[in-house]
Structure 1
């Protein structure tokens, strides 16, 4: 049923349930921030180097000039997965989502979705600028070049976009199996995108973990903010 024709209704506020959700949000936010700090201070560097050594031993470099792992066909597959976290692809998906929500006349829901994704993109760019060793002189290069490899932008934006999309989908699914399938599939896709960034030589494990943890931290913050607003409005 369209949102425009749906009557808003009061709901019985379950304090115990909301307290559990808040506890989970705080726990995940704290864990994500802790992992990001670990990557920033270098606690994951040694493990990241061991992963690189393992990949070199098992797959080798694509050629003597590259930093990617595995043969050409393997690199091609990884590049395809990486593209799913790129700005052009996510922008295309956002346009598709905008069309869908416009047809469904669910502008408020799309505005929330858009705010989470764009807000995450802004946070990502701020982090890259903050950790950049050298900044470009021309403003346009902030958008057309990689300012910093830390954190992984593809991983961070894939985490934000696809998990947000999955949550928006599962909220209106009554069957637990459907919700579980959606979240597991989405998590697997994010894992493949993150792994492809390492296997293609674009990022280290540390940079990818930083991107994932930063994305999760932003989502947890948005989740807590949403619960706070709903609690005050006492509305679903």
Structure 2
């Protein structure tokens, strides 16, 4: 069994029948709602940006990341810049690809084929959706403060924020369902959430993303992960109930 904490045959009664609430859960509906909401958030904010709307807090927050009068000097102690660069690397394509490959490989070795396939599909399709949104909206990178790292793609939505949410939150929910204690599950979920938040904040600190890019990326990635998680639950329940 792939996930002992999900509704599945372990919840069957003594006669081997799966309870009605388990046979007909709204997992597919939640999956569709999560994926639709993820796309809607990006589409709405992207449409607003495409029509030339400027969010005032974008510039204010970015200017707050630098010392007054010097757009090249980041705020905070000297080591903070290096830390932010290290954190932002955890949301890059190379790091996330390695995490997905290693996770999918581990799941395959454990013969958890459905979960492995869902991890690969969710992350690959999510990344493609983010790239497509970047091409459609074509929002230039912010030039309010100096960039502390090199970037080449469009700005909206933040790929680091969206893809890290997709990858780390999906994996966290999987891990949370195979540990025995509530404390361990909470730690895994909170740690993943904090990592995703840190990666998004690093993009603004480094000057390469507007805050709205990051907010849209977080929202998209979170609801995308939840949508695929619900879809996975629906698939497993369908398989367990025949």
TM range, smaller chain? 0.7 to 0.9
Residue of structure 1 in register with 2:134 after alignment: 128
Mapping 1:68-79, distance limit 5 Å? 69-70=75-76, 72-79=78-85
- Coordinate RMSD, CA, aligned: 3.6
| Pairwise CA distance, 1:119 | 1.4
1:8-87 to 2 correspondence within 5 Å?
Answer: 9=9, 11=12, 12-15=18-21, 32=38, 35-37=41-43, 39-40=45-46, 41-42=48-49, 45-53=55-63, 55-56=64-65, 59-60=66-67, 64=70, 66=72, 69-70=75-76, 72-87=78-93
Judged with a 3 Å threshold, the aligned counterparts in structure 2 of structure 1 residues 190 and 18 are, in CA distance, closer, same or farther, namely farther
Deviates further, 39-48 or 215-224:
39-48
CA distance in 1, matches of 2:35, 2:97: 26
| Higher helix proportion (structure 1 or 2) | 1
2:219 alignment partner in structure 1: 213
State TM-score, norm by structure 1: 0.75
Under a length normalisation based on structure 2, what TM-score does the superposition of the two structures give?
0.73
Distance in 1 (CA, whole Å) between partners of 2:161 and 2:45 is 14
1:177 aligns with 2:187: no
- Deviation per CA, 1:67-86: give whole Å up to 9, x if none: 85556532111111000000
Deviation at 1:210, TM superposition (A): 1.2
**Conservation of the 8 A alpha-carbon contact between 1:29 and 1:216:** no
1:2 Cα deviation (Å)?
Answer: 9.2
Deviations 1:17-45 (A, max 9, x none): 97576787677667655653553315781
Give the direction of change, closer, same or farther, for the CA distance of 1:28–1:221 in structure 2 (3 Å limit).
closer
SS for the counterpart of 2:67 is coil
CA offset at residue 52 of structure 1? 2.4
